[in-house]
Amino acid sequence: MNKPNQSTDKGLLFFKKNKVSVWVSTHPYTDIPEEYFEEIFSKNNTRARNTWSDNFKMRYFRPEDMETNGSTEGTVSVKQAAGECSFSSSFIEPLMSKAKKKDLLEITWIVLVYEYEYSAKLSSVESDEYLTLLGAFSYDDDADSVYEVEQD
């Protein structure tokens, strides 16, 4: 059985409970080639990889643990983008602190991978042509939402 962060010739594994890894972009979403996101599935369609995951030396990710959000025109705040695709405010404060440090408060889109603790220190990759890692943060599924959830 593979241990967390185990290195293989096919990439690194970063799975970890109660963590969320966050990448952001300032590149217009519509200008990114479709191939960047095109997923290649394995293991009963539960694991995927694509150009993005290959660039960051990830062996694979679970699509059901991934959320994306952003704006097709202009920019959006990191807080709004993350808050709209997370039901937990538990990591927003440290996320915003890291975004401020990296001068990435206004973005075009965001990628969140839950149950995943990506490490640029282990992979030696912090950014590629389109995405920059903000970090991996502790995540509490029981924390309040950033925004009110509308009930139907």
The pTM of this model reads 0.88
Encoded tokens for 65 = 């643990």
pLDDT at 151: 45
Containing 79, the helix (H) or strand (E) segment is helix 78-84
pLDDT at 148: 62
What whole-number distance in Å separates Cα of residue 138 and Cα of residue 92? 10
Average pLDDT of the chain to the nearest whole number:
89
Cβ atoms of residues 60 and 53 within 8 Å? yes
Q: Which residues pair with 8 in a beta bridge?
A: 11
Name the DSSP class of 2: P
pLDDT tops 50 at residue 3: no
From 124, 133, 127, select the one nearest 99 (Cα to Cα). Answer: 133
Q: How confident is the model at residue 21 (pLDDT cuts 50, 70, 90)?
A: very high
Q: What is the dihedral of CA 86, 89, 93, 98, to 10 degrees?
A: -20
pLDDT tops 70 at residue 129: yes
Q: What are the angstrom distances between the C-alpha of 107 and each of 71, 130, 144?
A: 8, 11, 24
Encoded tokens for 27 = 């590149």
Task: Write out pLDDT tens, residues 77-127.
Answer: 999 999 988 878 899 999 999 999 999 999 999 999 999 999 999 999 999
Q: What is the dihedral of CA 143, 81, 96, 131, to 10 degrees?
A: 120
pLDDT tops 60 at residue 1: no
Amino acid at 8: T
